[in-house]
A and B are shown apart, each in its own frame.
Chain A
Amino acid sequence: MNVLKIENVTKAYDKNVAVNNVSFEMPKGSIFGLLGPNGAGKTSLIRIITTITGADQGTVYLNGEKLNSSHPEQIGYMPEERGLYKKMKVGEHLLYLARLKGLSKNEATNEINHWFSKFEIEDWWDKKVQELSKGMQQKIQFIATIIHKPKLLILDEPFSGLDPINTNLIKDEIDEMHRNGTSIIFSTHRMEQVEEICEYIVLINEGRNVLEGKVKDIKNHFKENIFNIEFEGELPENIDEIATVVKQKSQSITIKLQEGIDSNVLLKKLIKQGVHITAFNEILPSLNEIFIKQVEQSAKPEINNE
C-alpha cells in the first residue's frame, strides 16, 4: 500500500515549468528521500503535496484518496525556511498551530506538555519565541510539525542550522516516528544523510524525475563491478585478463571486473594461485556519485537543445 502516489503532476509558473510530469509512489511507513539540486522543483512538488498550491495537471493521492482539503490535518510539514511568530509565547504558538491542525484545546495542551517534558523544556511555555536561540526555535518548529501525529511527515532540509546534539535529538525522533509507522519524506541535497536515513529515493532535476526506487536497488543498478581485495601473497600475473586494476597498494588492490565476469571467477583464480584473502568487498557507488552523474546526464540534453 502506498501512502502517496504522484501521477503525472505538472506545475508551471508563467513560462517556468517547476514540476514537469512527475510520477512516483511512496510505500507506507517508509522513509523517502526527495532529492535534487537547488531549484530542481522539490519545494514546488512539496507545496503541491501539502495542498499549499494546486497542480496544473496530474493527480496526487494520499492513502488512495485524491488530495482534498481534509488532508492537511494528516500531513506535517517543516519547510526549509523556518518561521514562527516572533512575538508570541512558545506555548500559545504551539497551541495555535496544533489547533489549526484540528486538535482540541485539551489534546493540544497535553501534547505540548508531553513534548516539553520530553525535550526538557518545561519552563518555555511563557517565553517569547524571539527570546530563543535559532536552534531552540528549530526545536519548537519541529514540535509544531509533528504535534498532531501526522501520517505523512515532510521535512525539508530538517538538519540545516542544527548543532550535532540537536541533530541527533531530531534524528532520534524521526527514527521513533518511523518505527511507529509514520511515512516520512525527507527532502535534501545532502547525500550522506540520505544514505544513512532513507530507504527509497526519488531524484528530481529540472522538474522531472530522473531516478527512483529503493536505495539498495539503485546502488546495485549503478555498480560498476569494482571490488576491493585485501590479501597476503603474490597476485597472479594474468589477472588483467578478467579485470583492470584501479588502485594498487602492497597488500590491497581495487579492481574493476570485466563485463559478464562473476566475482567468484576472480576469487577462484586468486585462491588457485595461493593468495590468502583477508577481505573482499564490492565497492558500490555512493549516492553522491550517482546523484552528480545523473544530474549531469539529465542536464546535458537540455543544454544541447538551447
Chain B
Amino acid sequence: MNKLWLIIQREYLTRVKKRSFILATLLTPLAFALFYAIIIFTVTYDTSEALKVAIVDKEGIIKSIADEGTLIFKKENRNLDDLLENFEESGYNGIIVVPPIKNITYKNYSVAYYSDSQLGLDVQSKIENIIGDKIRDYKIEKLKFDKKELEYLRTSITLNPEPIKPTDEDETPVASIVAAIIGYIMGFIMYGTVFIYGTMVMRSVMEEKTNRIVEVMISSVRPFQLMMGKIIGVGAVGLTQVAIWAILIPSMYFLVILFFDFDPEQMNAAASVGNEVDVEEMEDMVTQAITEIGNINWWAIVPLFIFYFLGGYFLYSSMFAAVGSAIGDDLGEGQALTIPITIPVVMALVIMMVAIRTPHSSLAFWSSIFPLFSPIVMPARLAFDPPIWEIILSIVVLAGASVFFVWLSGRIYRVGIFMYGKKVSFKEIGKWLFYKG
C-alpha cells in the first residue's frame, strides 16, 4: 500500500510540476476568456458608433419615429435633391426615402437608403424592422383596425410535455432544453477526459518500457502496483486540471464581463435582433432556464458524474495501459491495437447524442447499462431524471466491469512490459492472459 502511494505521488507530482501542464491548465481558461472577450467586442462594436439617418416621407406615412440605440432618426421636410446636394454639410450618415403606398394589400415594399458607406447586416435588419413596424401601424390605421385588438390575435404556442402519470414536478419545455445542454456538456467532458488521460497513461507506460526503467521498478514493486499507481496518479492529474478549470473558466467569464462593463442580456438582445423573437420572451426564457438549472438535483448529479468519471476512466485507462505495454516503442505499428478502445469511445459519443434526443428510448436504456458506453451515455441522461433502478443497475454493472477490466489489463500489462522486439497480435495478447505469474 505504501509503495502504491509512492508511485501515485511520483506520477502525480512529476506531471503537475511540468511546465506544459501548468501552461495548459492556465492558458485554456485564458483562451476561453479571450474567445469570450472577442465575441463581446464584436457584438458591442458596431452599436458604439452613432448613425444619423434622415427620413424623407412626403406622404406622411411615418407619424413619429424614436431613436433606437445608436440609431438617430430625423424627419426631414426638405426634398431629396436638396438633401443630396448638401449631404456633406448636413451631418447625416444616410437618407431613407419612404415612397407612397399605392396599394395597401402589397406585402413587399422597398425603401431607398442613400449613403456613402455600407450598413452592417445587423443595423440594416434593425432599420428594416423599425420601418416595417411603422408601415404596419400605417396600414392598421388605414384599414381602421383597432391596434390593441390586433395584438390579441397574436398567439404564440409552446408545446408543453406532460407525463402520463402525474408527478409533483411540472416539466417545462425549457427544462428539457436545459437538461439536453447539461447532458451534452457532461457527455463531452467524459469523452474528452477518457481520451486525453487514457492516452496519457498509455504513453507513459510505453515510455517506461522503452526506457527500460520498468525492469528496475518491477524488481521493487508488483506490476499491478505500478500500473494502478500510474492510473490513479494520472487520474488525479485529470481531476486537478478539471477542478482548476471549473473554478477558473467561470471566474474568467465574470472578469471579462466586469472588464467590458457588459450586460449579458444586451448580448441576447443583440442576438435576437432580426429574428422574430421578442426580447421580453427571450428574457422570460432566460429566467426560466436559470430556475430550471436550479431545479436540477445537483446533489445527486455531481456525485454520480464523479462516479461515472472514475468508472469510465478506470475502465478505459486500464485498457490503454494494457495496449501501451504491448506496443512498446513503435507507436506506428501499435496503432492498430488502440482501435478496439477508440471505437467504443466514439460509438458511445454518437449514441450519447441520440440518447439526448430520445432519453427514454431502448437504445438510451441499453447503452447506459452497457459498461463501455454507460460512462458517456448515462451522465448525459442524468438531467432527464431516468428511473432510479436504471441508475443503480448501471452503477453496479460499471463498477463490476471496471474491476474486471483493470484485472484483465493487469494480466496483459505484466507480460507486455517485458516483451521486446516482437510484433504483437491480439491472439498473442490473448495468450498472455493465461501466463502464470
> Hey, what's the 0/1 contact readout for B424-437 against A, CB within 8 Å counting as 1?
00000001000111
Q: Using A51-B219, A56-B436, A72-B219 as known contacts, say yes or no to A100 and B212 having CB atoms under 8 A apart.
A: no
Stretch at the interface among A79-87, A213-221, A256-264: A79-87
Shortest beta-carbon distance from B319 to chain A in Å? 23
Residues of A61-90 whose CB lies within 8 A of B: 69, 72-73, 75, 77-79, 81-88
Establish whether residues B437 and A53, one from each chain, have CB atoms under 8 Å apart when the complex forms.
yes
**Residue B75 at the chain A interface, CB threshold 8 Å:** no
Distance in angstroms from A141 CB to nearest chain B CB is 8
Chain A contacts for B243, CB-based, 8 A: none
Residues in B neighbouring A83, C-beta threshold 8 A: 211-216
A77 adjacent to B222 (CB under 8 Å): no
Give the contacts of B386-437 with A (CB-CB under 8 A): 418, 431, 435-437
B211 and A96 contacting across the interface, CB-CB below 8 Å: no
A72→B10 CA distance, assembly (Å): 20
A-facing residues in B1-43 (Cβ within 8 Å): 3, 6-7, 10, 14
Contact call B213/A87, Cβ cutoff below 8 A: no
| Secondary structure class of chain B's binding surface, majority of residues | helix
Contact A84 B211 (CB under 8 A): yes
For residue A97, CB closer than 8 A to chain B, the reply is yes
Give every chain A residue within 8 A of B285 (Cβ-Cβ). Answer: none
List residues of chain A with CB within 8 A of the CB of B219.
50-52, 72, 75, 77, 79
Complex CA distance for A263 and B76, rounded to whole angstroms: 139
Residue pair B216, A144 in contact (C-beta under 8 Å): yes
**Is A99 an interface residue, CB under 8 A from the partner?**
yes
Tell me whether B301 is interfacial, beta carbon within 8 Å: no
A224 to B423 alpha-carbon distance, docked (Å): 49
Could you tell me the distance between the alpha carbons of A277 and B221 in the complex, rounded to whole angstroms? Answer: 62
Contacting residues, chain A, for B217 (C-beta < 8 A): 100
Task: A69 to B219: give the CA distance in the assembly, Å.
Answer: 10
**Alpha-carbon distance A82/B211, docked complex (angstroms):** 8
- CB–CB B218/A52 < 8 A: yes
On whether the beta carbons of B14 and A97 are closer than 8 Å, the reply is no
Classify chain B's interface size. Answer: 20 to 34
A37 within 8 A of B: no
Question: Once the chains are docked, how many angstroms separate the CA of A78 from the CA of B216?
Answer: 7
For A79, the chain B residues whose CB sits under 8 A away are 212, 215-216, 219
Chain A: interface residue total (CB-CB under 8 A): 31
Interchain CA distance A47-B216 in the complex, whole Å: 11
Determine if B220 is an interface residue (Cβ-Cβ < 8 Å).
yes
Q: Is the CB of A88 within 8 A of B14?
A: yes
Expressed in whole angstroms, the minimum distance between the Cβ of A92 and any Cβ of chain B is 8
A201 CB, min distance to chain B CBs, angstroms: 23
B220 touches which of A47, A78, A85, A97 (Cβ 8 Å): A97
> Which residues of chain A come closer than 8 Å to B7, judged between CB atoms?
100
Distance between B203 CB and nearest chain A CB, rounded to angstroms: 13
A53-B222 Cα distance, complex, nearest whole Å: 10
CA distance A160 to B7 in the complex (A): 30
Pick from B6, B208, B218, B437: contact of A99, CB below 8 A: B6
Shortest Cβ distance from B292 into chain A, in angstroms?
A: 48
Given contacts A14-B431, A51-B219, A53-B437, contact A100 B211 (CB under 8 A): no
**CA–CA, A120 to B257, complex, Å?**
59
Q: Which residues of A contact B213 (CB under 8 A)?
A: 83-85
CB distance from B311 to the nearest CB of A (A): 29
Query: Measured between C-beta atoms, what is the minimum distance from A284 to chain B in Å?
Result: 36
Q: With CB as the reference atom, state the residue of chain B lying closest to A53.
A: B437
With an 8 A cutoff between CB atoms, is A42 at the interface? no
Instruction: Please tell me if the beta carbons of B215 and A81 are within 8 angstroms of each other in the complex.
Output: yes
The interface bits of chain B over 194-229 (1 if a CB of A lies within 8 angstroms of the residue's CB, else 0) are 000000000000001001111111111110000000
Q: Which residues of A contact B216 (CB under 8 A)?
A: 77-79, 83-84, 97, 141, 144
Q: Which residues of B contact A101 (CB under 8 A)?
A: 220
The complex places the Cα of A73 from the Cα of B221 at a distance, in Å, of: 10
Minimum CB distance partner of A14 in chain B: B431
Tell me the complex Cα distance, A96–B220, Å: 11
CA distance A86 to B210 in the complex (A): 11
Residue of A nearest to B13 (CB): A92
Say yes or no: is A29 at the interface (Cβ < 8 Å to chain B): no
Answer yes or no: A285 CB below 8 A from chain B CBs.
no
Given contacts A77-B215, A100-B217, 14 further A-B pairs with CB under 8 A are: A50-B219, A52-B218, A52-B219, A54-B436, A72-B220, A75-B219, A79-B219, A83-B214, A83-B215, A83-B216, A86-B211, A87-B14, A96-B6, A99-B6
Q: Pull 16 A–B residue pairs with CB atoms less than 8 Å apart, ordered by A.
A: A47-B418, A52-B218, A53-B437, A69-B222, A77-B219, A78-B216, A79-B219, A81-B212, A83-B211, A83-B213, A85-B208, A85-B211, A88-B14, A99-B6, A100-B7, A100-B217
B residues adjacent to A (C-beta < 8 A): 3, 6-7, 10, 14, 208, 211-222, 418, 431, 435-437
Pairs of residues from A and B, 4 with the lowest C-beta to C-beta distance, nearest first: A83-B212, A83-B213, A100-B220, A81-B212
